[in-house]
Amino acid sequence: MKKLVVLAIAITAMACQQNKIAFVDSVKIMDEYQEKIDVDARFKTKAEAMNKKRDSISQAFQMELQQFQTKAQSMSQQKAQEEYSLLQQRGQRVGQQLQQEEQQLQQISQAEMDTLVKKVKKEIREYGKANGYTYILGGGESGSVIYGDETKDVTDAILSILNDKYEN
């Protein structure tokens, strides 16, 4: 009989145990996470430098093309075509090189963003474990939380932890 009472109490205790659930606004975290803001700024600066380089090379090439056109008037048609062909090939090589540099910059930027996302997810998991949550759901633009009680929003707590760790 005692075993039956103990079993009944244990079953009742397990049935009464509730899952602790919270949510985070993923968009807010990524928008206000200082490391992400710094990464964005760094790559924006690099992209601007890349654009300036492209503009500078383009202007120099246009000037060279104009000089060639003036010079070509005093050349034979065959010689002018040969030089124009060489000029075009060089322009294509420079264009391809700039395109490769832009692609490399984009790949590096994407890799850093992927690393940041992993870091944020890891921090959310650690926060959930440390604070006894069974689930922490993702909210925001593409999240799965359509409505959440504001008392269950742990976005600011996690954002604070991320920014504190980044500063240190």
Residue 13 pLDDT: 46
CA dist., res. 131 & res. 46, Å (int): 40
pLDDT score for 1: 57
pLDDT for the residue numbered 166: 93
Q: What is the 3-state secondary structure (H, E, C) of the chain?
A: CHHHHHHHHHHHHHHHCCCCEEEEEHHHHHHHCHHHHHHHHHHHHHHHHHHHHHHHHHHHHHHHHHHHHHHHCCCCHHHHHHHHHHHHHHHHHHHHHHHHHHHHHHHHHHHHHHHHHHHHHHHHHHHHHHCCCCEEEEECCCCCCCCCCHHHECHHHHHHHHHHHHHC
pTM, to two decimals: 0.72
Specify whether the CB–CB gap between 29 and 120 falls below 8 A: yes
Every domain of the chain and the residues it spans: 18-167
For range 67-87, the mean pLDDT: 88
pLDDT (tens digit, 9 = 90+) per residue, 53-72? 999 988 988 898 888 888 88
Question: Which pLDDT band holds residue 162 (cuts at 50, 70, 90)?
Answer: very high
Q: Taking a C-beta distance cutoff of 8 angstroms, is the pair 36, 149 a contact?
A: no
Q: In the structure encoding, which two tokens stand for residue 7, read together?
A: 């079993």
